[in-house]
Amino acid sequence: MRTSAAAAAPSKKSTQHKSNALLTASEGLSVIGAALESRGRAHSKPDCSHFVHSVYQSAGFPYAYVSSSDLYRGVPEFRRIVHPQPGDLIAWPGHVGIVVNPSQSTFFSSLRSGLGVESYSAPYWKERGQRRFLRYSKANPERLSSRSPHTHHAKQVPTATQMTTAPH
């Protein structure tokens, strides 16, 4: 019995599926859009993990709530990555935020002063220990079927100034 080269090698479709199962750059920008919209809706200061969870739900990327420490340790809904894009999570033991602009090293989160943008290169964040970047995984078909049809479209990565400016 002969086997073809195509049968022996993994198909392009199966290898593409694994890489396409993570949040795309465009989808990451929709997470940033949801975070921007949250600034005007926040009546109280949520803790960081509830804030991030709410933003992802709003952007149409649901996951079961977990603490920032659980996110840092790793959960199936997020994959650890090395090079972040806007909309990815940045986590330390006990804190989590949403990457805004990797080239500016900025993230958006619920901070002591309220919702805001900070640099993850700042000494305070470096002292918190090793940071981890996490990207949402769309691989779970049950989550895909429950995705919200509402999406946010952003054309550019916002700067830290744009994220901290109050809505009009």
Q: Is residue 26 scored above 80 in pLDDT?
A: yes
Chain centroid to Cα 60, Å, comes to 12
CATH of the domain at 129: 3.90.1720.10
Q: What is the pLDDT of residue 41?
A: 61
Residue 107, class by beta-carbon neighbours within 10 Å (0-12 exposed, 13-18 middle, 19+ buried)?
buried
Q: At what angle do helices 48-59 and 25-41 cross, to 10 degrees?
A: 120
The answer to whether residue 55 sits within a structural domain is: yes
Tens digit of each residue's pLDDT (9 = 90 or more) over 87-129: 999 999 999 999 999 999 999 999 988 889 999 999 999 999 9
Structure tokens at 1: 């019995």
pLDDT at position 39:
73
Q: Is residue 18 part of a domain?
A: no
Q: What is the pLDDT of residues 119-165, one digit of tens each?
A: 999 999 999 999 999 999 998 644 444 433 333 333 344 444 444 44
Task: Report if residue 15 sits inside a domain.
Answer: no
Provide mean pLDDT across the span 47-64: 95
Question: What residues pair up with 108 in beta bridges, in sequence order?
Answer: 98, 117
Q: Is residue 163 a contact partner of residue 97, using CB atoms and an 8 Å limit? A: no
pLDDT given at position 102: 97
Whether residue 54 lies inside any domain: the answer is: yes
Range of the domain at 52: 23-143+151-163
In sequence order, the 6+-apart residues with CB closer than 8 A to the CB of 25 are 85, 86, 87
Number of domains in the chain: 1
Rounded to whole angstroms, the Cα distance separating 157 from 29 reads 7
Q: What is the pLDDT of residue 154?
A: 37
Question: Given this model, what pLDDT does residue 80 score?
Answer: 97
Domain assignment present for residue 159? The answer is yes
